[in-house]
Chains A and B, each alone.
Chain A
Amino acid sequence: MSMKIGIIDYGAGNLFSVKNALSFIGVESAIISDKVDIEKADALILPGVGAFGDSVNMLREKGLFDSVKANAVKKPFLGICLGMQLLFTKSYEYGETKGLDLISGDVVKMESKSLSIPHMGWNELEIKQDSSLLKGLEKSTYVYFVHSYMARCDEANIIAECDYGGRVPAIVKKGNVFGVQFHPEKSGDAGLVILKNFAELV
């Protein structure tokens, strides 16, 4: 059985909404939790809801940390929300924790005097660079965010950002590794287009 996209289950996150969205657009996927399947998958999605440190610990405890890191550079890879934050060098959520370091940068708490945190709701993407992930999107695209921490990284890695009391990286990329801070599986038609574009990279 050929498996197209592997959704990595390391004990966190809402895996089923990602799987539901992929099924809906006719993309074959499976929820996977061991190294062999990570190796076999044609593309990988790293979802995530929760805290950075807990997630890194769970990846390590399940012995998946190195496998995810090694396979991320070999095939199309998409980190969603916390899964995107895990791509970076380190995070300061509840103390400093090292991430997968697939993209240089760190993850810091969002701060605002006038805006409520978490940044929750529909925000508009400001496109900074052309990308295969954006193919077919409307000029003005809103996507759904829920997060309290954000990435800081080199401009060269930022495909799109949004404005929430400052610039917030929304889509990042390095080689075939992509990260989206928002939830494409909850972003209506725009989110489905982005997931479809990712699936087509295979």
Chain B
Amino acid sequence: MLAKRIIPCLDVRDGKVVKGVNFEGIKDVGDPVEYAKKYNLQGADELVFYDITASHEGRKYMIDLVKQVAENIFIPFCVGGGISTVLDFKNTLRAGADKVSINSSAVKNPELITQAAKIFGNQCIVLGVDAKRNKEGGYSVFANGGRQDMSLDLIAWVKEAEKLGAGEICLNSMDADGTKNGFDIDMINDVCKNVSIPVIASGGCGKLEDFYEVFEKTNASAALAASVFHFGELTVRQVKEYLNKKGINVRA
């Protein structure tokens, strides 16, 4: 059976990895290839590079980054952030990425999912979703990095996206994100129950037990985390050894 995947996520600005942002600005900047090598060595099953570049000019560095990573790291990797056209997909995949993640651009233009899936295959289309609990007891989808409420129901959206051709869903709970109190089990379960494509759980991970909980209590195929890995609180290796001991099927 398929192993549960552990996926470190790296934020990228102007082609460099950004480790974290605080009030003084960017805390630390690094070479994407070095980070990718480190996580690969630790046993990461996949990597996500997320472009947070604000300027249009800065985006061109992403393609060079993808090429460099593809020449040095031989595990699947996904690229997201600022991808909004079929041409963006093509350039990113050609440079060596295996998957492309779209979020706001898919909400605003759902047809993009189908167009890209037809040309490149469902397997490389990852739908990123940022969602938050609403007053009605459901979840609402947000765009533009969580800044814009799209008045769109999460469950309706993920079902629609699956139909349109998305191959995976990377579900980020805005309620859990940054809390380090664990993944949003209820939200993940609601999404898993409603789609048959793989769901990647994101947001809220702060300790070893959180990884176990998400795989024990939900059908998530993968767990994505950023800060616990970046700041060296945990290594991917530690997470896998722990999960293995707890009887979760992971790649050693």
The CB with the most chain B CB atoms within 10 A, among A24, A116, A186, A189, is that of A116
* Cross-interface CB contact of A186 among B74, B198, B221, cutoff 8 Å: B74
Residues of B178-201 at the interface with A, using a CB-CB cut-off of 8 Å, are: 196-198
* Cross-interface CB contact of B96 among A17, A50, A123, cutoff 8 Å: A17
Instruction: Provide a sorted-by-A list of 20 A–B residue pairs whose CB atoms are within 8 angstroms.
Output: A14-B96, A16-B70, A16-B96, A20-B70, A20-B74, A23-B71, A116-B196, A120-B2, A121-B3, A122-B2, A123-B1, A123-B2, A138-B252, A140-B252, A142-B251, A146-B123, A163-B1, A164-B1, A188-B74, A189-B74
The CB with the most chain B CB atoms within 10 A, among A118, A120, A185, is that of A120
Say whether chain A's binding surface is mostly helix, strand, loop, or mixed: mixed
B45 engages A122 (CB within 8 Å)? yes
In Å, the complex CA distance between A16 and B70 comes to: 9
Residues of A95-151 at the interface with B, using a CB-CB cut-off of 8 Å, are: 116, 118-124, 138, 140, 142, 144, 146
B residues near A50, Cβ cutoff 8 Å: 121
A17 engages B2 (CB within 8 Å)? no
B interface list, Cβ under 8 A from A? 1-3, 5, 40, 45, 70-72, 74-76, 96, 98, 121-123, 167-168, 196-198, 221, 251-252
A residues near B72, Cβ cutoff 8 Å: 24
A187 is an interface residue with CB less than 8 A from chain B: yes
User: Which residue in chain B gives the minimum CB-CB distance to A49?
Assistant: B121
A116 engages B251 (CB within 8 Å)? no
A interface list, Cβ under 8 A from B? 14, 16-17, 20-21, 23-24, 49-50, 116, 118-124, 138, 140, 142, 144, 146, 163-164, 185-189, 191-192
A186 engages B98 (CB within 8 Å)? yes
B residues near A187, Cβ cutoff 8 Å: 74-75
A residues near B96, Cβ cutoff 8 Å: 14, 16-17, 20
